[in-house]
A and B are shown apart, each in its own frame.
Chain A
């Protein structure tokens, strides 16, 4: 797997001249042929194009894993951080410059395993982020070990006799942890995924899209063929995403029928950024504030506290 450098397509265009190609990154993905992550990348690029996002006003933040290589493949600002840390870094990015669209991408191990603590707390804070998890129920980059979403009994390189642990289910977990937009998509249904992404990016607050994105190399159980007959689109079944208990019930559904689509959305909660007065002083993002430091009147008041 080697990265081939392609002629970069750049935003030489002025605003309004965006094309689909605008969002293509400098290099071609080095994922295995057939990897579900290609579909996620394409869906994200389409969603950004259809929403008319300016590439320099988007920051895509990932952790580490096959899936986390994504920021290098899109033409936006990107951060390819540490294993499990994308949400913490992204929260810092969003608070530093709340005018950016911040999109996190990563894998199931990255987000629900090593990054589990940040996952829980970023959701309860309702930070205005879009979090796309390429959930292949396996550790791809490290060549096929068990992940937090590997189903019980699954044989992997680290569970040669079958995993004896129960997996976590990110959909109900996200709902109860306070995420305000909780959806699932499937790499085999790209058009539907684009709609999930667009909804997530436009949503104000923390949006999770957990994507079944098959690892064709290391997960021989949860393949395209396995998912194809099982996935059922919630939007085609009249699911009401404002019904909390239904959302949780459908989220747990697994087996012959596995729902994808928007499980849960609420729009009545303020985001973290909306609640922080220091972002709303009329001076723009914290990162671009001029005149750093303390004016002399204020300095005097601070010193007076010590006297």
Chain B
């Protein structure tokens, strides 16, 4: 068989937590990325350290990969349970690699190659090395040379000493050779890409985006799936000159972040929905005292403790409503790991400009999900614009707006035309003021219990609100992807960009259905006029990971546009492209206006 023009395959590894699935995945991801292949990895795991069912999917291709895809080509069940749940999903051409002494296969579809391996013999009884032997076999089937495996295994086990490295290399080789003699390789060979790529998780990308933006203060309280940001920050704090603190609770986190930001530091924190709820009042404080901060809500399935290790988009309205009262904030929903990296510096510049909180809606899917990354696209040389900030030695562009020692001349909350008031920080001579969460006058004096001041209250509400009028011009409007005229327009927001994109391509390629996509990234401000213009008279289906259709409601509230159809998934697992494809077909055939795709893994 001739080599196809595009190679696209996925490896699925499943077992119990604690069976080394994540590190096996890391090894594979690095081998693929170093070859220059694009990849996307998603780990469906549970919130326990050992036991439970974990299933990691790594999909790789010589073309861009935006989600975990629909199929598994190499299936590595590390226990019987995984075999039983997933074998029935394999299609002809796929293969299953397993320990012949421990695991019995069930009924597989025609054309599925069963690859039993005598693991005890191949690993010389080292149970921990079964993954390594299976990796060797996998590379053999994929037509990859053994050298890359050896170098990545060396890297992975270096810390454990030369003996462990040597043993694992020997076991990998044994698996590799065993597969050569006993199994049939795929009819294609895994290609090489143009240049070596890196591997990044969304949480790493978020942290790196913060570092690029000049974050000097990062605080957090551990909470899945946001903890990866804290771990990256803590590991790099001293080298990069960032103060990193683990605080007693998320209330403390946000208040501490605001304190540091108030002194002039770029300050950031990440959490998940529960922690975000605790931060809510303080986010309002950042709005009231006009202190810029950035907070990332890595959503997981709620409410309450919910499903700590599963994804959802259910925090949209929580984030929109964060903090009591009515005040301006910025809300953005990045669509990929790379987008997370780029969004953080962009958001910091806007927060500094408008002196308000900036909130990021990420989710488990992209923040814990892994993707390949072109090192040239991780551009740390980002624009840094601190806005109207007054530091002791002049602001960044030159002298102080009002220098000297006369504190009376300075109005921290000056009622300017734009609503933006030059911001001095503690330590600057001549600019003394008190920042109060009570309503205050231009100089910071509290007016909240003055009977005579409805006019001042109105002035200050309008001053803060006015800041947002110009913000819409600073953010890019969303663009329609695909042909202007289509049978259906799929609208999504944030992390679902990649899977909807692939569904659009599949609809065109496999089903002959012309679809296009509008992915929304900026939630506040919202390009309502442009979005209305795009969606006007189109047949629109909103795709989202919620039960109640939070985004569809938000779209309607901002534009008056009522979508014709809905595809919703709230079982904790992300959409796969075929879920969307099937649902669109059903809806175009008039079968339903609300589709809830079923995740196929056996219960």
Contacts and interface: CB of A to CB of B under 8 A. Distances in A.
A169 interface: no
Contacts of B426: 56, 59, 77, 93, 97, 100
Contacts of A8: 407-408
A303 B445 contact: no
Contact of A307 (B196, B208, B212, B429): B196
Contacts of A279: 243
13 contacts: A25-B434, A72-B445, A75-B407, A77-B432, A88-B256, A89-B259, A93-B259, A96-B263, A117-B248, A286-B217, A288-B393, A296-B380, A307-B375
A14 B405 contact: yes
Interface in A1-42: 1-3, 5, 8, 10-14, 25-27, 30
B446 A287 contact: no
Interface string B15-28: 00000000000000
Contact of A91 (B199, B259, B380): B259
Contact of A299 (B199, B245, B380, B450): B380
Contacts of B444: 72, 78
B262 A93 contact: yes
A285 B241 CA distance: 11
A276 B246 CA distance: 13
B378 A287 contact: no
B231 interface: no
A96 B252 contact: no
Contacts of B251: 85, 88, 117-118
Given A78-B433, A277-B238, A292-B214, A5 B445 contact: yes
A34 B384 CA distance: 52
Nearest to B441: A5
A127 B246 CA distance: 14
Interface in A293-307: 293-294, 296, 298-299, 302-303, 306-307
Contacts of B528: none
Interface in B252-280: 252, 255-267
Interface in A261-300: 276-279, 281, 283, 285-290, 292-294, 296, 298-299
Nearest to B451: A2
A149 to B, nearest CB: 21
Secondary structure of the A side of the interface? mixed
B397 interface: no
A100 B427 contact: yes
A287 B255 contact: no
Interface size class of B (residues with CB under 8 A): 35 or more
B393 to A, nearest CB: 7
Interface string B369-382: 00001010010111
B46 interface: no
Interface in A220-278: 276-278
Interface of B: 33-34, 196-200, 204, 208, 211-214, 216-217, 219, 236-243, 245, 247-249, 251-252, 255-267, 281-282, 285, 289, 373, 375, 378, 380-382, 384, 391-393, 396, 405-408, 425-438, 443-447, 449-451
Given A10-B407, A302-B380, A78 B435 contact: yes
Nearest to B372: A306
Nearest to A277: B238
A55 interface: yes
Interface size class of A (residues with CB under 8 A): 35 or more
A57 B263 contact: no
B214 A298 contact: no
B429 A11 contact: yes
Contacts of B381: 293, 296, 299
A118 B252 contact: yes
B212 A293 contact: yes
A294 B211 contact: yes
Nearest to A59: B426
A27 to B, nearest CB: 6
Given A289-B216, A292-B384, A276 B243 contact: yes
A167 interface: no
Contacts of A306: 198-200, 204, 373, 375, 378
A234 to B, nearest CB: 31
A54 to B, nearest CB: 8
A190 interface: no
B427 A278 contact: no
A80 B260 contact: no
A121 B248 contact: yes
A82 to B, nearest CB: 6
A72 B33 CA distance: 58
A61 B406 contact: no
Contact of A92 (B199, B256, B432): B256
B262 A92 contact: yes
A56 B431 contact: yes
Contacts of B391: 287-288
A26 B443 CA distance: 9
Nearest to B263: A96
Contacts of A288: 264, 391-393, 427
Contact of B252 (A25, A77, A88): A88
A50 interface: no
4 closest A-B pairs by beta carbon, nearest first, are A92-B259, A292-B214, A78-B434, A306-B198
Contacts of A294: 211-212, 240, 380
Given A56-B432, A77-B432, A78-B434, A96 B198 contact: no
Given A11-B430, A56-B427, A79 B259 contact: yes
B241 to A, nearest CB: 5
A293 B451 CA distance: 47
B449 A79 contact: no
A79 B262 contact: yes
B437 A64 contact: yes
A298 B289 CA distance: 35
B378 A80 contact: no
Contacts of A172: none
B407 A91 contact: no
A286 B265 contact: yes
A276 B256 CA distance: 16
Contacts of B435: 78-80
A90 interface: yes
Contact of A56 (B211, B245, B249, B428): B428
A174 interface: no
A278 B243 contact: yes
A266 B431 CA distance: 36
Nearest to A119: B248
A47 to B, nearest CB: 18
A77 B266 contact: no
Contacts of A61: 259
Contact of B263 (A85, A287, A298): A287
Nearest to B392: A288
A303 B267 contact: no
Residue of B34, B197, B237, B247 most packed against chain A (CB within 10 A):
B247
Contacts of A91: 256, 259
Contacts of A299: 212, 378, 380-381
B393 A281 contact: no
Nearest to B384: A292
Contact of B434 (A72, A117, A278, A289): A72
B260 A55 contact: no
A85 B282 contact: yes
Contact of A303 (B238, B375, B449): B375
B130 to A, nearest CB: 28
Nearest to A281: B241
